[in-house]
Amino acid sequence: MSKHIHPVFENMLSRQAKEKFLNQRALVVWLTGLSGSGKSTIANKVEQLLHKKGILTALLDGDNLRTGLNANLGFTSADREENIRRVAETAKLFLNNGLVVLCSFVSPTQRIRARAASIIGKADFLEVWVNASFEVCAQRDVKGLYKKALAGEIKNFTGLDAPFEAPKAPFMVLDTAQQTIEESASKLVDALLKKIKK
């Protein structure tokens, strides 16, 4: 760290004080899965349901952050890692302000997700695998990306010519080929409320 940087973390109002004020425990919920698996849709639904329960949240979505904070990054391995590093640091800022943070990112490798967990803190990091096969996601193709990737127009496409490594021990698996978005969101919210409500 540069000798010209002087962090003031110890002088800031504590996370505990903010959690007490909000009457909730802060957490980071990390939704991972292939493009089109349902991550963003589930995260949006979960946020709405938690809001109705009086839970203050922040939603960080892959495409949204790539239009702003991470607009200068591409999809090489190095850029994917930097994308997730920035996201994790951002999520940690919200976490330390007492919020429940919903993160929706492909984050395709064990290494990338482990890095995010180490930045955020493993005790506050809940990994949720939104599990839908490449074939199911390609059939949905909600953004038209699979058609382009299969035609060779998009390189380094996760699940095709770039790897996706399934989580080894996620907090929860949501099989969106077998259950609706509403069912998946409700299942996740029920589990989260047991951890969030103080």
Is 65 part of a structural domain of the chain? yes
107 classed as catalytic: yes
Is 2 part of a structural domain of the chain? no
79 three-state secondary structure: helix
The catalytic residue among 2, 107, 184, 186 is 107
Is 1 part of a structural domain of the chain? no
DSSP 8-state assignment for residue 197:
B
- Count of Cβ atoms closer than 10 Å to residue 171 Cβ: 17
Place of tokens 């998946």: 184
Is 71 part of a structural domain of the chain? yes
Is 156 part of a structural domain of the chain? yes
Is 4 part of a structural domain of the chain? no
Is 181 part of a structural domain of the chain? yes
What is the number of structural domains in the chain? 1
Q: List 172's β-bridge partners, or say none.
A: 128
Query: pLDDT in tens for each of the 198 residues of the chain?
Result: 567 665 666 767 999 999 999 999 999 999 999 999 999 999 999 999 999 999 999 999 988 999 998 999 988 889 989 999 999 999 999 999 999 999 999 999 999 999 999 999 999 999 999 999 989 989 998 888 888 888 888 888 888 888 899 999 999 999 999 999 999 999 999 999 999 986
pLDDT of residue 63: 85
Residues 6+ apart with CB under 8 A from 88: 115, 116, 119, 120
Q: Which domain holds residue 29?
A: 9-196
Is 48 part of a structural domain of the chain? yes
CA distance 87 to 105: 9
Q: What is the CATH number of the domain that holds 73?
A: 3.40.50.300
Q: Of 24, 26, 61, 68, which is closest to residue 45 (Cα–Cα)?
A: 61
pLDDT of residue 148: 86
Length of the chain: 198
